[in-house]
Amino acid sequence: MAKGRVNPNHTLETQGITGLGTVYYNLREPDLIAQALCLGEGELGQGGTLLVSTGKFTGRSPNDKHIVKTDSVADKIWWDANRAMSPEGFDRLYDDMLAHMAGRDYFVQDLFGGADPAHKLDVRVVTELAWHSLFIRHLLRRPEAEDIDSFEPEFTIINSPSFRADPERHDCRSETVIALNFDRKLILIGGTEYAGENKKSVFTLLNYMLPEKGIMPMHCSANHAPGNPVDTAVFFGLSGTGKTTLSADPERVLIGDDEHGWSDRGTFNFEGGCYAKTINLSREAEPEIYETTQKFGTVIENMVYDPETKELDFEDDSLTPNMRCAYPLDYISNASPTALGGHPKNIIMLTCDAFGVLPPIARLTPAQAMYHFLSGFTSKVAGTERGVTEPQPTFSTCFGAPFMPRRPEEYGALLREKIAKHGATCWLVNTGWTGGAYGTGSRMPIKATRALLTAALDGSLEDAPFRKDKNFGFEVPTHVKASAVPDILLDPRRTWDDAAAYDRQAAKLVQMFAENFAQYEEHIDDDVKAIAIREAASA
Ligand code: ATP
Ligand code: MN
């Protein structure tokens, strides 16, 4: 049985997916919430939010993600970082998944990725969970109601958390599987309830498809000056570095918080919603995001709350530190209605340096920007494991290795070309530790980061005095006029009690960069290589 609105020429049945229970097509938010509650998938929260938990998986499973190795993609994929699945394994996986789905109810959303009509990708998302349907409806872009009648899915995602993969039979790694098949235009997800897999698989698709059209896909947030899309900024960064937090700036127009493309016409959001971390979310520091946690339909994942009042506890990370909320872009009051921006005037590379070495802001030459883009450095704090106090360095190329099917140099070259063509200014911003490494120092105050970004984006930072950093060679301002940022904060060495300890830590970090970068040296331009060699020498 089918309910809801769908293009009669493109139902699941016409796609060969038959034998399901009730299929709910394109339900809107109120009905999706009603279904989720009725199925016991979650609880109603304050303001009409939906409170859910994702069970065993509270984050993505990058090691269970596979790309099907068909002839048409075999020489385009970066197999060192992407796991292959055989076409035969995939075919069995698909058959077994369909057999598993028989008789069960499913929810279908017909959506698209890409706010620029010239580059959008129509995607059908078929989910077992009603709340996944609500989640992906928030996160991707929603067609007009009348466009549903003529919707033709280009790719289809099927997500069945209750399905268990068989590594032998399906040529995968565990019971959890995410498999992308570019030939069959299918993505199959099984064995995990973590909703973020849905949105990041669309991202992976676009990251594969767009470079061939000369479009740079970016794991970044973006915003622009009020009334002036020409003044666009993008913020690259790995998880937890501040993309979502810093792009929701009350003084600027939000384009998007996570995934964008850069075409000849400018930047465009791939998505239609945001997925924000809620750990220690404060009304004062992040008012815009805080508000969304009480708005109708916001999906709130893995948060502890009062069982009676449903009041959220932002400090309690006992389910996971990766607790989140998902909401449509327009829940941020100053979000762009078009989700389009100009060519980035400023490119910010965010890093959360828990070693406390990198300065809160530095200006990069184009070659340095390429070096940091290919390095993709951030660090994770130990914290969750007892006795582990050293921060863990993470180098994830293009600030998003798990979502990049192609070789990093391909994205690097495209970015470099666009930076040169449009004259963007590049910055490195450390949102991590100051005054010492994790354990001794403290996290950079959001206020300071915001003040520095404001100065960079409004151009006033260009007039500041700069010093050249001894360890990394980039330029660091020594004084920022009319801002709440004390000079000492700009020089991490001075924020440490023990300057010699800083120097040792800095040398170690330079060494880590150099060791990691060795893998790219043979594929890159000479000026970027020169930076790599200089760093290796100073380490
Ligand atoms: P993801 O890719 O996983 O969505 P993200 O880059 O969007 O990650 P955020 O969700 O913005 O990262 O997370 C940054 C976290 O760090 C937030 O919880 C924020 O409150 C906290 N934070 C603390 N200090 C800062 C700072 N100076 N700048 C940015 N964020 C900070
Ligand atoms: Mn984010």
Q: Over the stretch 435-462, which tens digit does the pLDDT of each residue have?
A: 999 989 999 999 999 999 999 999 999 9
Q: Do residues 354 and 388 make contact, with C-beta atoms less than 8 angstroms apart?
A: no
Tell me the torsion sign for CA atoms 335, 337, 339, 345: negative
Whether 243 is a known active-site residue: answer: yes
Q: Over the stretch 307-342, which tens digit does the pLDDT of each residue have?
A: 999 999 999 999 999 999 999 999 999 999 999 999
Give the pLDDT mean for 182-209.
Answer: 97
Q: Over the stretch 486-498, which tens digit does the pLDDT of each residue have?
A: 999 999 999 999 9
Q: What are phi and psi of 121, to 5 degrees?
A: -125, 120
Whether 10 is a known active-site residue: answer: no
Domains in the chain: boundaries: 2-213, 274-331, 343-531
With CA atoms as reference, report the closest residue to 414 among 222, 258, 213, 237. 213
Give the pLDDT mean for 213-235.
Answer: 97
- Cβ of 289 closer than 6 Å to ligand 1, yes or no, is no
Q: Over the stretch 342-381, which tens digit does the pLDDT of each residue have?
A: 999 999 999 999 999 999 999 999 999 999 999 999 998 7
Centre of ligand 2 from the C-alpha of residue 380, in Å: 16
Pocket test for ligand 1, best of 234, 245, 430 (most atoms within 8 A of CB): 245
Give the pLDDT mean for 144-170.
Answer: 97
What pLDDT, on a 0 to 100 scale, did the predictor assign at position 139?
A: 98
Does the structure show a pLDDT above 80 at 482? Answer: no
Give the pLDDT mean for 71-100.
Answer: 97
What pLDDT, on a 0 to 100 scale, did the predictor assign at position 12?
A: 98
CA distance 20 to 22: 6
Q: Are strands 220-225 and 121-127 parallel, antiparallel or unpaired?
A: unpaired
Q: Over the stretch 177-188, which tens digit does the pLDDT of each residue have?
A: 999 999 999 999
Q: Over the stretch 110-151, which tens digit does the pLDDT of each residue have?
A: 999 999 999 999 999 999 999 999 999 999 999 999 999 999
- The band of 382, judged by pLDDT with boundaries at 50, 70 and 90, is low
What pLDDT, on a 0 to 100 scale, did the predictor assign at position 458?
A: 95
- The band of 500, judged by pLDDT with boundaries at 50, 70 and 90, is very high
Whether 219 is a known active-site residue: answer: yes
Pocket test for ligand 1, best of 244, 398, 403, 489 (most atoms within 8 A of CB): 244
CATH fold of 274-331 reads Phosphoenolpyruvate Carboxykinase; domain 2 (2.170.8)
Within 156-295, where are the H helices?
Answer: 167-170, 196-209, 243-247, 287-292
Question: Taking the domain 343-531, which CATH number applies?
Answer: 3.90.228.20
Does the structure show a pLDDT above 60 at 384? Answer: no
pLDDT cut 90: percent of the chain above it:
93
Tell me the torsion sign for CA atoms 199, 205, 207, 209: negative
What pLDDT, on a 0 to 100 scale, did the predictor assign at position 387?
A: 55
Asked whether residue 239 is marked as a ligand-binding residue, the answer is: yes
What pLDDT, on a 0 to 100 scale, did the predictor assign at position 383?
A: 52
- Cβ of 443 closer than 6 Å to ligand 1, yes or no, is yes
Helix or strand (DSSP H, E) at 110: strand 106-113
Give the pLDDT mean for 498-520.
Answer: 96
Check 156, 201, 239, 336 and give the catalytic one: 239
Q: Over the stretch 52-79, which tens digit does the pLDDT of each residue have?
A: 999 999 999 999 999 999 999 999 999 9
- The band of 524, judged by pLDDT with boundaries at 50, 70 and 90, is confident
Residue-wise burial string across 310-321, b where 16 or more C-beta atoms lie within 10 A, e elsewhere:
eebebeebeebb
Average pLDDT of the residues of the chain: 95
Q: Are strands 340-341 and 266-269 parallel, antiparallel or unpaired?
A: antiparallel
CATH fold of 2-213 reads Phosphoenolpyruvate Carboxykinase; domain 1 (3.40.449)
- Cβ of 446 closer than 6 Å to ligand 1, yes or no, is yes
Asked whether residue 245 is marked as a ligand-binding residue, the answer is: yes
- CA 241 to ligand 1: nearest atom: 6
- Cβ of 263 closer than 6 Å to ligand 1, yes or no, is no
Does the structure show a pLDDT above 90 at 535? Answer: no
Structure tokens at 452: 């520095």
- Whether pTM exceeds 0.85: yes
